[in-house]
Chains A and B, each alone.
Chain A
Amino acid sequence: MRDTFNLRPIIELLLVTLILQIGVFSFIFSDGWVPQVSVLFVLFLGFYQPSVLSAISVFALGVLVDMSAGSMLGPSSASLLVTHLLVGYSSKRLFLESPIAAVIFGAGCAALAGAVRYVLLSQFVPHDFLIPLLKESFTTALCAPIMLIIFRARLGRKKGI
């Protein structure tokens, strides 16, 4: 099957994801309640366009997220890639159309990515992770239906689907 990965809208959505998560939501929300829009982007990409280039995009997104947080590079990219791999591999068995499905998968992916990140970071800086994980999974799940609609609207449904 031809790879119909469309790079330009992916890059646009990647930047929008970063701006939303780092610039907007981090200002509005606080104390661990920031929704992980990057996870939703990874979920969307893994579900609709899993490919080598999408994996590279996810890696780049993870590095940028780590840079903006000022922490060590790598944990976010690793956690997002693990999530992307699982979603991409099982995408043909999943349906992401309904809002309820978006909420459930959004919460699940946020929990998975958060858990992987905390496991990697706890090797260097031990800290409590259960409560923050639950907080960000909750807010990410709430944002999932709206963000997936935005992603779908931008990427269109004609190419490669």
Chain B
Amino acid sequence: MARSRALDGSSSRSFVLACLVLIFISLCLIAYSARNPEVTEIGARAAQEVSSPIQESISSSVDFFSSLMGKYQALVEAREQNESLKNRIAVLETENSRLREFEVENKRLAELLHFSENQKLNGIAARVIGHDAVNWVESVIVDAGLANGVKRGMPAVDGSGGVVGRIVSVTSGAAQVLLITDRSSGVDVLLQDSRARGILRGADKNLCELSFVDSEAQVAVGDRVITSGMDGIYPKGLTIGVVSAAEKDPRGMFQKVQITPQVQFKRLEEVLVIANPQIEVPKP
């Protein structure tokens, strides 16, 4: 175990004397440097010459690690900002999708309004809010009812003027529209070119068929089918669809004609209920 080297008599006196002499010299140095400040400047410059390289190397090491930490922190902040921006993008995309939806809906409603004004129809715009709950009847529910002026029997069209169907039941705030593709539906129609008449009924797969078309009548695929106005329900001249197939029965009196409706019922979102069905719709 280490022990101090004990001072013996003579060395102790030498040590104490040396310390006292040097303390005295130090006090003299204090007095001298107080009167001559340039001495301290020389000393400070000399000390700085020696210490500055050491301090520079320490400083550069500290700067290196500081910059590493700074870069790491910047990476962490960039990551957090990235997450925040991703969330913001998701919110903006949702909002953008909503706005585009409004734009498309606005366009459809504008078409409805345009059609109504052009044809001088007294129309009540309504939004499709549902379909027949039991799937036995081809119908849709709209959000306009007695309070809006809708009555039983009124016809309904879409924005392009295609016939949708007619009102079969109505409450104060909603109404049921029987589509022309339903088997119980019947519309008196004309072939626009040949003027042949028939009764349009619903068939399978969202198609319609024309009954009681004279076998002598000229029917071609692509012929346009319009309402005749004879049933007192639909105004004359509304577009039903086009002939997609025609088959003559050599032994029968009538032809079998298949019609593809103009209205795409699976994508129907708004309808125009016509409040004055007696008028005649001019030819397009």
Contact = CB atoms under 8 A, between A and B. Distances in A.
Contacts, number: 135
B27 A74 contact: yes
A66 B43 contact: yes
14 contacts: A1-B5, A49-B5, A50-B7, A52-B15, A58-B22, A62-B26, A64-B47, A68-B48, A72-B37, A73-B32, A89-B15, A91-B5, A160-B5, A161-B5
Interface stretch (B51-59, B79-87, B88-96): B51-59
Interface of B: 1-8, 11-12, 14-16, 18-20, 22-23, 25-34, 37, 39-41, 43-44, 46-48, 51, 54-55, 58-59, 62
Contacts of A94: 4
B26 A78 contact: yes
B7 A52 contact: no
A77 interface: yes
- Most A C-beta atoms less than 10 A away, residue of B23, B27, B41, B54: B23
Given A27-B58, A63-B29, A67-B43, 20 more contacts: A27-B55, A50-B5, A50-B7, A55-B15, A55-B22, A56-B22, A59-B25, A64-B47, A67-B44, A68-B48, A70-B43, A71-B40, A72-B29, A72-B37, A74-B28, A77-B26, A78-B27, A91-B6, A94-B4, A124-B34
Contact of B51 (A68, A157, A161): A68
A9 interface: no
Contact of B54 (A24, A55, A85): A24
Contacts of A59: 22, 25-26
A79 to B, nearest CB: 9
B25 to A, nearest CB: 7
Interface residues of A, number: 51
Nearest to A152: B2
B41 to A, nearest CB: 8
A82 B23 contact: yes
B27 A23 contact: no
A96 interface: yes
Interface in A29-66: 47-52, 54-56, 58-59, 62-64, 66
Contacts of B37: 72
A87 B19 CA distance: 12
- Most A C-beta atoms less than 10 A away, residue of B28, B31, B33, B37: B33
Given A68-B47, A73-B29, A120-B30, A47 B11 contact: no
Contacts of B3: 161
B5 A48 contact: yes
